[in-house]
Structure 1
Amino acid sequence: MEPAKYGQETLVKLLLATDGVDVNLQDKFGRTPLMEAVKYGLETLVKLLLATDGVDVNLQDRDGRTPLMEAVVGESETIVRLLLATDRVDVNLQDRDGSTPLMEAVTFGKETTVKLLLALDGVDVNLQDRYDRTPLMEATGRGYEAIVKLLLATDRVYSVK
């Protein structure tokens, strides 16, 4: 499914229409066509893949990263919204370092994305990474006052350590 990486929409449509094509096939790094489309900000291909039956939006690569994590650190808030709109995304999946999409958004100072994630009922604002840091600790340590206020306003933060 390499064409997804290069934005070749016509080829991707052709492949998806072919019997036996596995839309969730992972390369040697564990990356899927959806991850590649997200990583490169290919919004049209992300929409196409999300509309495909059987696409797994929660597959993790060998580092434990998900399409949502890629979208959060990328430049496209629209792609974050597209993934969240599927209602199939597990927003609390952690990568091998214990980071979550919320932690990624906090780390990169993406206030709008933090707001989007905090608006979800299931997001756990207290998950710790492998260094025992929570999103609140990360935001505080980086001096992101607006994000600290957002996290505290959720009334779900129970640990400051």
Structure 2
Amino acid sequence: MKTLQALMLALCLAGTASVHAQVGPTAAEAARYQGLHAAAQAGDAARIASLATAGADLDARDAHGRTPLHVATFAQKRAAIQALAKAGAKLDLLENDRYDAVTIASVANDEETLRLLLSLGASAKQVTSRYDGTALIAAAHLGHAGVVQQLIAAGAPLDHVNNLHWTAVIESIVLGDGGPRHQATLKALVDAGANLQLGDREGRTPLQLAQARGYAEMVKMLQAAKGR
């Protein structure tokens, strides 16, 4: 019973983090922005270039630790992202909740912005969030299969274990709904060679977790890969 209660608490906490930690600027915050933050929010690439030439701090922080790049990523302003990168903005900084631009785009299921960030040299390998996770774990949790495939191709660590003792494979199961999106996510991880023997804190393997949740398609997939 205690083990079940602990699992449910962890599920609740992880789900809460997904909903609340990825917080973009509010309308009120955006209205108060000046300089590069305002240009990033508006997607004004020309203004970004002008301010950068004038010596503006490309990595300045707002009250939540967001740089102009974070703001542009939340706003899906890809021209602004390109302008900031061209001017020399750092691509892998973390904001106050310990998210980088890659993880922000991944959680938003924004494949186009993620593709741009990775092409510009942003890393898919960083440890992010209060759970010491990765963009890959966050995307697997949410069943963003296309994002997961991009991150895998960019060298994201397949078997990183967060401080809940979960991998991307485990999160695709225990925080997923067992449906097509999470099945596709799990398949991408399996096909990429993720370690399917790594268990949770109680030693339960992905196969055992899928069986316990009654996720028949995931069980079939994991059984087919068993012993790999």
The total of aligned residue pairs comes to 158
Q: Measure, in 2, the Cα distance between the counterparts of 1:115 and 1:83.
A: 15
Shift of the alpha carbon at 1:90?
Answer: 4.7
- Are positions 1:43 and 2:78 aligned together? yes
- Are positions 1:95 and 2:129 aligned together? yes
The corresponding residue for 1:119 is 153
Give, as a single letter, the amino acid of the residue that structure 2 aligns with 1:42. Answer: K
The corresponding residue for 2:13 is none
Shift of the alpha carbon at 1:6?
Answer: 2.6
Q: Measure, in 2, the Cα distance between the counterparts of 1:75 and 1:149.
A: 18
Give, as a single letter, the amino acid of the residue that structure 2 aligns with 1:129. Answer: N
- Runs (4+) of structure 1 moved beyond 3 Å? none
Q: Measure, in 2, the Cα distance between the counterparts of 1:95 and 1:9.
A: 29
The corresponding residue for 2:187 is 149
TM-score of the superposition, structure 1-length normalised? 0.88
Identify which of 5, 8, 12 aligns with 2:48.
Answer: 12
Q: Can you give the 5+ residue segments of structure 2 that lack an aligned partner in the other structure?
A: 1-35, 201-228
Higher helix share: 2
CA contact (8 A) 1:77 1:113 kept: yes
Shift of the alpha carbon at 1:11?
Answer: 2.6
Q: 1:88 to 1:40 in 2, by over 3 A?
A: closer
Pick the structure with greater CA Rg.
2
Q: 1:75 to 1:138 in 2, by over 3 A?
A: closer
Identity %: 22
Identify which of 76, 86, 95 aligns with 1:61.
Answer: 95
TM-score of the superposition, structure 2-length normalised? 0.64
Q: Can you give the 5+ residue segments of structure 1 that lack an aligned partner in the other structure?
A: none
Shift of the alpha carbon at 1:93?
Answer: 2.3
Give, as a single letter, the amino acid of the residue that structure 1 aligns with 2:66. Answer: R
Equivalences for residues 15-26 of structure 1 within 5 A: 15-19=51-55, 21-26=56-61
RMSD (Å) for aligned C-alpha atoms:
1.7
What SS does structure 2 have at the residue aligned with 1:130? Answer: coil
Q: 1:156 to 1:94 in 2, by over 3 A?
A: same
Q: Measure, in 1, the Cα distance between the counterparts of 2:130 and 2:81.
A: 24
Identify which of 162, 166, 180 aligns with 1:129.
Answer: 162
Q: Deviations over 1:75-131 (max 9, x none)?
A: 53111011111234252322222221101211221111111111133x211112221
Q: Which has the higher contact order (CA 8 A, sep 6+)?
A: 1
Shift of the alpha carbon at 1:148?
Answer: 1.3
Q: Measure, in 2, the Cα distance between the counterparts of 1:103 and 1:88.
A: 17
Q: Measure, in 1, the Cα distance between the counterparts of 2:101 and 2:122.
A: 12
CA contact (8 A) 2:73 2:101 kept: yes
The corresponding residue for 1:159 is 198
